[in-house]
Amino acid sequence: MSDPVLYEVEGPIATLTLNRPERLNAISGPMLATLSERLLEADRDPAVRAIVLTGAGRGFCSGLDLVDASSGSGIGSQGGQQLPVNLDLRDAPPVVLHQIDTPTICALNGGAAGYGMDMALGCDIRVAAQSAKLAAAFTRRGVLPESGGTWLLPRMVGWAKASEIIFTGRTLSAEQCLELGLVNRVVPDELLAKEVRALAEEIAANAPLAVAASKRMMRMGLSEEFSDHVHHVYLQLVPLFASQDFREGMQSFLEKRKPEFKGR
């Protein structure tokens, strides 16, 4: 059996590829567990400064595997992998995606439906191929956005637009996603990997401690009062002032050269 999530590190960039192309990368139980493990592995690796999440084949992720579920063997089925009553989601991919400090980029190479849409929205940045789509098909399948969508979407597009998308189960083209601000850019399909790699390298060239601290503070700021947030930002700033990367950043600026950050 092939690995449900391929993992590759090239330079400072880790690429995680959902790997069930024959099922449009539909989510299985093993894929969920492996995805969380790979995300945490990349986040713990000091050499990795950016994480790219994409799908194999012509789709990003078609959501939970409905074929397995309907046969009684998949996630959410009555006869297969039933969800426990006391649910612990601390290691679930949407939570892990939200909690890790390494920047994440979704290379949206095709359709992302249901769970796949939530997973794409959970990344920090999204670059979409022209053929990509986001399908909020939850209510059309008798469920709700179970993987962060009800938290993420209203914050991204506002309550009214999020309501329309979720309640209607609408499918959005790449251009519609761009207009709504759900993706950062739309590129020709054949240029997606190149564009995402260039963006990841641009992020990786900056001081990794500062990038991670910035992401951490943005995340905390979603639920803090301004005065509390400013205090927490200052506490993050103090150790950065003592870092080698801070000294390198200042020295390279004075010497008018490209900095070489070590993450220390």
pLDDT, tens digit (0-9, with 9 covering 90-100), for 31-49: 998 999 999 999 999 999 9
Q: What six digits make up the tokens of 122? A: 């959970």
Do 5-204 and 208-254 fold alike per CATH?
A: no
- Model pLDDT for residues 127-181, shown as the tens digit of each residue: 999 999 999 988 888 888 888 999 999 999 999 999 999 999 999 999 999 999 9
| Residue appearing with tokens 């083209």 | 173
Report, as an integer, the average pLDDT of 204-230. Answer: 95
Task: Quote the pLDDT of residue 27.
Answer: 92
Three-state SS at 176: helix
Which of 64-73, 104-113, 235-244, 250-259 is the least confident region? 64-73
- Taking 3-state DSSP, the helix, strand and coil percentages for the chain, each rounded to the nearest 5, stand at 45, 20, 35
Going by their DSSP bridges, the two strands 104-108 and 50-55 should be labelled as parallel
Q: How far apart are CA 69 and CA 54, in angstroms?
A: 24
Name the superfamily (CATH) of residues 5-204.
2-enoyl-CoA Hydratase; Chain A, domain 1 (3.90.226.10)
The fold for domain 208-254 equals Lyase 2-enoyl-coa Hydratase; Chain  A, domain 2 (1.10.12)
Q: How far apart are CA 46 and CA 207, in angstroms?
A: 12
Task: Quote the pLDDT of residue 77.
Answer: 45
Domain residue ranges in the chain: 5-204, 208-254
Contact 25, 17 (CB under 8 A): no
Q: How far apart are CA 67 and CA 26, in angstroms?
A: 9
Q: How far apart are CA 39 and CA 32, in angstroms?
A: 11
- Model pLDDT for residues 177-209, shown as the tens digit of each residue: 999 999 999 999 999 999 999 999 999 999 999
Task: Quote the pLDDT of residue 78.
Answer: 47
Task: Quote the pLDDT of residue 2.
Answer: 82
